[in-house]
Structure 1
Amino acid sequence: MVAILRVLRRLRARTIGKVLAATLLGASTGACLADPAAYGHRPYHFDFGNGSVEPGHLGVRAEDAYTPDKHYGFNTPENMANVAASGTGVGGDAVRFLQFGTKSTNTFNVDLKPGLYEVSVTLGNTTRASVAAEGVFQVMNMTGNNAKDAFEIPVTDGQLNLLVTEGKAGAAFTLSALDIRMVSPKPELGPTIWVGGDSTVANYYPLATSVQGGWGQMLPDYVSPDAFKVRNIATGGQIARGFRDGGQLETIVKYGKSGDLFLLEMGINDTNPKNATTEVEFKEIMRDMVRQVAATGATPVLVTPQGRATDFNAEGVHSSVNRWYRHATLALAEEEHVPFVDLNVLASAYFTQIGPEATLALYMSGDTLHPNRAGAAELARLVAADLERQQLLPAR
């Protein structure tokens, strides 16, 4: 009996040792998962670069290739580089993507069970970079060192393929950390409001504290999360043709479905002579996008841009109805029988109510076109209220 107890103690000690070793291995650079059979169910926390690995994270160097037994790694590590980063913790180092593009095979691959996942991204040092996965954009134009954002994505083929890619020509496309957790075993996005537009709509970073804001960035504050998630695909300087042909519309077409909304606001940059887009051309490009999105089952909603802070007449009335190809957008909504949010007129009514001085305070200093965070919040409020009026959003 004594001999049997000694054997059992030895077996327990060996088992504990193996579990401890596996746990330590799972937190070390280039390690495989402690329990490969559980891949895709446990949360993943990746720390990229060749510096020290933060506790609770899997370290990934640029040279770490994907292998089936490890369940993660770079598809073409020869196109990656370890680089420094100016942050702390996981933000203290990063990897740089030397080849990029939404269709590039130079991806970081993670084996995942089919399901819906939340992916949280922390960049390294970069001026502007976007995140792509599954061959389409997921997050647009993250700016500033160690910028953070998150998105949900359905995985149906057993693997997530992600990379950091173009936000601005010549920028460094870097990745410091990645966190992945399963939201649902069903690989389907819930009801989503997709937002397309320009710099008056886009996200600015850090998302929670940026001085400048876009109304698409602030819209989630006016939408019940139980009703819709908001995905803002807008980018600064964008024109209708660029949004359609540059890959942003592709994201909505890939994931859009019945019950979704697609809010599309263009015109400010299209009217700039350097972009060589006539009002007739603008209208037909917008029509094409409306029809492509409608074919997915989602509901396109056309939105007009607000005017400049200085669009007041001598009587103190704000009006900008002749700006930004507004008339073409209004006509298109009527022709295609799609909902229309005339933010141009709604914003003017609000600006007239509060007056020129208070209106100017809602824009960036020395800038009469781009709203600051407070101004973007007011515009988002107006958009949401009109969507509620049209019963496209449930009342909060």
Structure 2
Amino acid sequence: MNKGKWMKALCAFFMVAVLFSVMPNLHVEATMSELKFDFGSGSVESGYIGVSASESYSQTKGYGFNTPENMLNVTASGTGEASDAVQFLTYGTKSTNTFNVDLPNGLYEIKVTLGNTARASVAAEGVYQIINMTGNSAADKFQIPITDGQLNILVTEGKAGTAFTLSALKIRKLSDTPVTNRTIYIGGDSTVCNYYPLDSSVQAGWGQLFPDFISAKTFQVRNMASGGQIARGFRNDGQLEAILKYIKPGDYFILQLGINDTNPKNNTTEAEFKEIMRDMVGQVIATGATVVLSTPQGRATDFNSEGVHTSVNRWYRHATLALAQEENVPLVDLNVLSSAYFTSIGPIATSALYMTGDSLHPNRQGAAELARIVAEDLQKQGLDGFSIDE
């Protein structure tokens, strides 16, 4: 980095450091509380702090890599702060190969921009924060409470053999209170999960579009669904762990699985599926949060000879219905609700809501319709926070 760019980055850091550290009791407004890091060995974007892979953490600076020997500077195909990146050579949600930033305790919004990667997840504080970001320069954000004075973040597994890279990080303080805003957590599979870019992807999951149908003043949405997921995987491989770390009374957990569990390769009987789901329901209920079970929609082709769409025997639906009744938790029977909608618009219009040549996965318009159906059913059930007036 040349002298002029270094001085500019240093000045930017000290200005923000004053706001974050010298006046810890001051309630900092959003426009005055943003730290921005530009990773890699290339030029540093204006207003950002440049961070090379070799830059180790120090208390004096208040930021840096915990184990820089496990980091690598790499190029990236984006522009501006996304034109270069660092690659994490060791990773995993429990890895100590993290980028550390000293922060006063409080609630923060973290925006992450990846470098070049096919699929990667983001972890912080030992758990997943974002699941399976896909494509070069993919960007997303999340809320996180800081209670120990430091953010520890890394990019980790999304797909084996993929480079896990980070181009930029923006940190914005939301509150002095280290508690997440009221949250709807969503668990599911490829019909539910996020696709990138979030605001323009052709394919989408209904969890991705769900924020469009609820009040942003009442809830934030954390979509923890992932493609190909089964109940056992969601429970055992880190997604449920991340939810349990933060979920609290007043929050919701909407859980929709079953499609991949029915695939023989996953070796899960309906009885086993039901008990794994029951275990997850019980763990979340124990936190004081509310669980909502949902059944998956059917295929675009599930029309009978009378033009009625029906798929009531698919995806272990009956186990989900029985579990909701046995555990006394709300149920969104999206399977039946979506079939009623598909019947009303007919086979041709229904096919137009799915990816071309694909009878299972909704496109963006289809995901929006499914999200609308879920939100409207929660409103009809009168669940707290979903009222049209709220």
TM-score range (shorter-chain normalised) is over 0.9
Residues 31-51 of structure 1: per-residue CA shift (max 9 Å, x gap): 963564433563101000000
The residue type equivalent to 1:274 in the other structure is K
Report the CA distance between 1:369 and its aligned residue: 0.2
CA RMSD of aligned residues (A): 1.6
Residues 1-396 of structure 1 correspond to what in structure 2 (within 5 A)? 25=7, 27=9, 33-34=14-15, 36-39=17-20, 42-392=33-383, 393-395=386-388
Return 5+ residue gaps in structure 2 as ranges: 22-27
Paired residue type of 1:394: S
Contact 1:197 1:234 in 2 (8 A): yes
List per-residue Cα deviations over 1:316-363 (Å, max 9, x = no partner): 000000000000000000000000000000000000000000000000
> Partners of 1:239 and 1:35 in 2: how far apart?
44
Determine if contact 1:32/1:69 at 8 Å carries over to the other structure: no
In the superposition, the TM-score normalised over structure 2's length comes to 0.94
Q: Find the counterpart in structure 2 of residue 11 from structure 1.
A: none
CA-CA distance at 1:391 after TM superposition: 1.4
Distance in 2 between the 1:107 and 1:339 partners?
A: 39
**Cα deviation per residue 1:248-275 (whole Å; 9 max; x = unaligned)?**
0011111010000100000000000000
Identify the residue that residue 6 of structure 1 maps to in structure 2: none
8 A contact 2:5–2:44 mirrored in 1: no
The 3 A distance-change label for structure 1 pair 370 and 290 is same
| Equivalent position SS for 2:378 | helix
Alignment check: 8 A CA contact 1:23 1:34 kept: no
- What do the CA deviations read for 1:158-199 (whole angstroms, capped 9, x no partner)? 000000000011111000000001011111111100000000
Counterpart amino acid of 1:235? S
**Pairwise CA distance, 1:22:** 11
Q: Deviations over 1:221-258 (max 9, x none)?
A: 00100111111000000000000000000111110100
Is the partner of 1:286 in helix, strand or coil? helix
Give the Cα separation in 2 of the matches to 1:35 and 1:133: 22
Q: Could you give the per-residue CA deviations for residues 340-394 of structure 1, whole angstroms, max 9, x where no partner exists?
A: 0000000000000000000000000000000000000000000000111111212
Distance 1:23 1:300 in 2: 51
SS in 1 for 2:353: coil
Work out whether residues 239 and 267 of structure 1, in 8 Å CA contact, stay in contact via their aligned partners in 2: yes
Where does structure 1 differ by over 2 angstroms across 4 or more consecutive aligned residues? 21-26, 31-42
Does the CA-based 8 Å contact 1:271-1:277 persist in structure 2?
yes
Structure 1 SS opposite 2:14: coil
Post-superposition Cα deviations, 1:71-93, rounded to whole Å, max 9, x if no partner, equal 00000000000000011111110
Tell me, in whole angstroms, the C-alpha distance in 2 between the residues paired with 1:23 and 1:78. Answer: 25
Distance 1:327 1:136 in 2: 32
TM-superposed CA distance for 1:26, in Å, is 5.5
Aligned equivalents of 2:81, 2:13: Cα separation in 1: 19
Seq. identity, %: 68
> How many residues of Structure 1 are paired with residues of Structure 2 in the alignment?
375
Within 1, Cα distance between the matches of 2:164 and 2:68? 15
User: How far apart are the structure 2 equivalents of 1:26 and 1:391?
Assistant: 54
- Paired residue type of 2:254: L
SS of residue in 2 equivalent to 1:204: coil
Which protein is bigger by CA-based radius of gyration?
1
Evaluate the alpha carbon distance shift between residue 208 and residue 165 of structure 1 in structure 2; reply closer, same or farther with a 3 A threshold: same
Structure 1 pair 207–179 and aligned structure 2 pair: CA distance change class (3 A)? same
Distance 1:253 1:338 in 2: 18
Distance 1:172 1:35, change over 3 A: closer
Alignment partner, residue 25 of structure 2: none
